[in-house]
Structure 1
Amino acid sequence: MEQAEVPPQRAVCDPCPNEDAVASIWSTLCNGFSAGKHWLLLLLQSLQNVRTTPLAHSLATYRQMVNWDEACIRCIAIHPTSRHQALITSEDIVHLFVNWVDPAAQLQAPEQVDLYCVAYRPCTNRELAVGCAAGIYIWRNVSSQLWGKRLLSHKAHIHVTSVQWNQPGTTLVSVAMGSRQIIVWNTDSAQTIRMLSASISFLLYSPDFQLLFGASSDAGADVCYVERRCWQLEHILAERPIQTAAWTAGSTYLLFVQKDDTHLYSITRYADLGVFLKPQLFWTFELVADLHEIFVLGKQKHHGQAQAIAVDPLNIYLAVIYKRQPFVLLCKLSMKKHAKLRIIPWEYIHCDDEQARGQCAYATCMCFGHAKENGRRRTLTIGWNTGYYQVEWLKTDNYKRCI
């Protein structure tokens, strides 16, 4: 870099004509402004990748996670048809595994900070989407050890809190903190296909991919009827701030817990057949259980507020994470025809890391594995605030690892 020419130094006692004095003052001001602008630009560039405390706390309200700003493990995603898994840590690193045994890769980038969510692209285990402060990073495995990345960004869509692929993996849907838009992306061209006006913090495709549930921690919830040409939004849970939600297999029920509440509710869709060729769906609302008061072996236990729920792909289990409780509650689902949906408390899953026993360990996130009819691959993976993750084989033995 070429240095600016330095004017001759002038002694304090040297005489200075008026014109020379004015020129000197003007030159000094210009040099000072130029130097100030340079340092300001450097400061702004350095602040792009620095998270602030108010931001971290505000982001925590948009997640089903316990204490997002403190949790070592923030998100777990398992590929729906293979043995590949992804795990996000507070160090803004995406850890990739094969069957939780072989570390496959660690994905990180300078601009990829404040990671929130991760989702594998269907039909391939070599590509995944990661939501972060800069937007959405699309990572693709181009060789055995090399991963390439592309950034999907929009000026009004930063700090992405939820991403969902459609069934064939041709489009990606995302929502972001503070944004009033749902964006549908064509990831191959990095272009937006459509933008829907809605204040949403997390998304959930129904298992049949006919409905897209979008919920907010302060503005209720919407259901989007997904069609090729038209996406229609319907507000179904007005004035009910949603804490966590999960679809049952077959898209029969949508289970949810409201913010600052202890009750588990369900909504079910029915078609008003009548004489319409395309019947209008309507929703029935029902209380399922109080997750605070649980009866186990005839004894009543109080657990507080539920933070997150998850449903087994075979509709056998429902798992519940509570705020700062040292266990995960595993329940069985009772979904008999023409009968009310019920849950049966089954067992408590505690952290089995010996080093974490004295550290007040509590679960921060979880994910059910893909299902097999023989049950050998029905798993529940739990991330603990200490950085330990635990894989529970629900019908056989346990396997666990610690990052």
Structure 2
Amino acid sequence: MAALDTFPDLPRPGEISVCERNGRICSLPANEVNSSSSYNLLSYPEINIGRELFHHAATHIREDRRTIMVPVNETLLKRITRTFFEEGPVEALNEAANCVNEQYNPLIGSLARYMLVLVNIGNRIKFFLKPHLKEQGIDSVGKFTQTKEWSKSAIRCICWHPNCFKIAIAASDDSIRVYSDEPSIVPILKSGLQKSVSSLAWRPFTSGELAVGCQSGTLVWNIDPNSLITRPLSQAVQLRYENHFPVTSIEWSPNGCLLATASINDPDILIWDVDQNRQVPLRRVGPPCALLKWSPTGSRLCSTTVGNVFRVWQTNKWIPDRWTINNGTIQSIVWSSSGSHLLFVTTEECFLYCLGFVEDEVFTSTLVPKSALPVADLSKIIIDQVEVGGRPQALAWCPQSQYLAITFKDTSAIAIFNTAINRTELNITPSCFLTGIGIESASCICFQQNLGRRSSEKKKTVLTIGWSSGRIQYFPFV
């Protein structure tokens, strides 16, 4: 089993690793680092979201409307009605229960207090049957995203287009910027419905169709690649279904025909035909779904829940295999390029687990118990007086299944493993640690494969890192 204590040392103080070349890590002094000025990355845009517009109110701070309004004399019924439409029925009952010096107050106040008691009893029963409903709102969304400290991070999501040179970045002001190799044009996507963005997904085989998972549900943007304006005129199309919001995970099928969405308030997965604006729910009894990941071959879809259950669906018949873990929930999942292996980490254990799928069978024999095998120990250790490892935050596996990157909840360094698959066996070996500048920590990561504009260009794999400062770094393996 691989372990962090067999890794090479961290970069020296004041230095940053900038690429891997022929198995060797190249480093530069931090003051000489440029995100894209060397190692054949000249066409990559230099991005620092932290320097760009941030004139927005913190999303986790809510001001009471009544504190910023000019006081007026309102009747009790008007106050209750206004509170009902602005803040909901429970706050309206609280307003009625707390009223004083009004005509008919004893009757209205007593009735409101009696109804609040019934509401509290109903909530206790509901939370007993469905404990996950206790955690709702912005904090619950951040708990099930792949981004470290999602609610505070300048960068909330990064997503490379699977077919062309285009990257979408969601910022904490709920805007999405789309960068390409044309630096003078950066479309900015904003909408009143686009709040608390948690996931992004480009539609395969289209040049500008981007799905966004957010508080109101799913939005689908269609960006004209020939447009010369930075703010597209078209509005996003909203995909909304009953209680299926907020959406915490979205995944296009590899052929781009179907869109799968998951919400932490809904146990059902929705499979959308976006062109027809139709959906089919995959209904299951149990805790709501939190995270989705389609295998690169399209034959399987892995779905996790807010509990200890996860499922692997066979998409030809939409039949799931049900799995459970001992503690916590699934934190992150990734598929190998062939769909033969699934790697995952949990919220409570410092291990990397692997499930093998060969010819629709787990492992190679039905006599072997169906269970996940730990392949790497990620327990926290100290290297050069710096803590690394611990509880994992997110996984990213390169398209060739050669490099695996792991970020951690409580430490800032990124662990890179070399991986190789020999049909049923996964070999995983330590490679290096990546660190940021100063006190930076990795907020989110993803791989992008650049096939080159000409057949003579050498293929390379690039790990894209969104640091907590808002800086984007490209780390190539060449």
Partner of 1:98 in structure 2? 180
What CA deviation, in whole Å up to 9, does each residue of 1:100-134 have, x standing for no partner? Answer: 94553111111210110010011112111001111
What CA deviation, in whole Å up to 9, does each residue of 1:114-163 have, x standing for no partner? Answer: 11001001111211100111111110124613343110111210110001
**Structure 2: segments with no counterpart, 5+ residues:** 1-73, 89-134
Measured on the aligned residues, the alpha-carbon RMSD in Å equals 3.0
- 2:202 maps to 1:123: no
What CA deviation, in whole Å up to 9, does each residue of 1:189-243 have, x standing for no partner? Answer: 222133432632000000101000011242321011102xx41122023555211
- 2:403 maps to 1:317: yes
What is the DSSP-based 3-state SS (H/G/I as helix, E as strand, rest coil) of the residue aligned with 2:219?
A: strand
Question: TM-score, normalized by length of structure 1?
Answer: 0.77
Amino acid at match of 1:366: I
Partner of 1:184 in structure 2? 271
What is the DSSP-based 3-state SS (H/G/I as helix, E as strand, rest coil) of the residue aligned with 2:138?
A: helix
Aligned-partner Cα distance in 2 for 1:128–1:379: 21
Report sequence identity in percent.
24
Higher relative contact order (CA 8 A, sep 6+): 2
Please list every run of at least 4 consecutive aligned residues from structure 1 whose deviation after the TM superposition is greater than 3 angstroms. Answer: 31-42, 99-103, 237-240, 270-273, 281-284, 293-297, 299-302, 371-377
- 2:149 maps to 1:60: no
Contact 1:268 1:283 in 2 (8 A): no
Task: Indicate how the Cα distance of structure 1 residues 100 and 234 shifts in structure 2: closer, same or farther if over 3 A, else same.
Answer: farther
- 2:450 maps to 1:368: no
1:244 Cα deviation from its structure 2 partner: 1.1
- 2:268 maps to 1:225: no
Partner of 1:304 in structure 2? 390
Aligned-partner Cα distance in 1 for 2:250–2:284: 16
1:290 Cα deviation from its structure 2 partner: 0.3
1:294 Cα deviation from its structure 2 partner: 7.5
Q: Size of the alignment, in residue pairs?
A: 342
Aligned-partner Cα distance in 2 for 1:300–1:115: 33
What is the DSSP-based 3-state SS (H/G/I as helix, E as strand, rest coil) of the residue aligned with 1:361?
A: coil
Contact 1:85 1:99 in 2 (8 A): no
1:343 Cα deviation from its structure 2 partner: 1.9
> Which one has a larger percent strand, Structure 1 or Structure 2?
1
Aligned-partner Cα distance in 2 for 1:177–1:272: 29
Contact 1:313 1:371 in 2 (8 A): no
- 2:429 maps to 1:344: yes
**Structure 1: segments with no counterpart, 5+ residues:** 1-30, 46-52, 274-278, 396-403
Partner of 2:86 in structure 1? 43
Aligned-partner Cα distance in 1 for 2:249–2:334: 14
What CA deviation, in whole Å up to 9, does each residue of 1:161-202 have, x standing for no partner? Answer: 001111222221100122111011121222213343263200
Contact 2:170 2:176 in 1 (8 A): yes
What CA deviation, in whole Å up to 9, does each residue of 1:27-58 have, x standing for no partner? Answer: xxxx947744663466249xxxxxxx962222
Amino acid at match of 1:244: S
- 2:240 maps to 1:153: yes
Task: Indicate how the Cα distance of structure 1 residues 102 and 318 shifts in structure 2: closer, same or farther if over 3 A, else same.
Answer: farther
Amino acid at match of 1:115: V
Q: Which has the higher Rg, Structure 1 or Structure 2? A: 1
Farther-moved stretch of structure 1 (364-373 vs 150-159): 364-373
Amino acid at match of 2:86: L
- 2:353 maps to 1:262: no
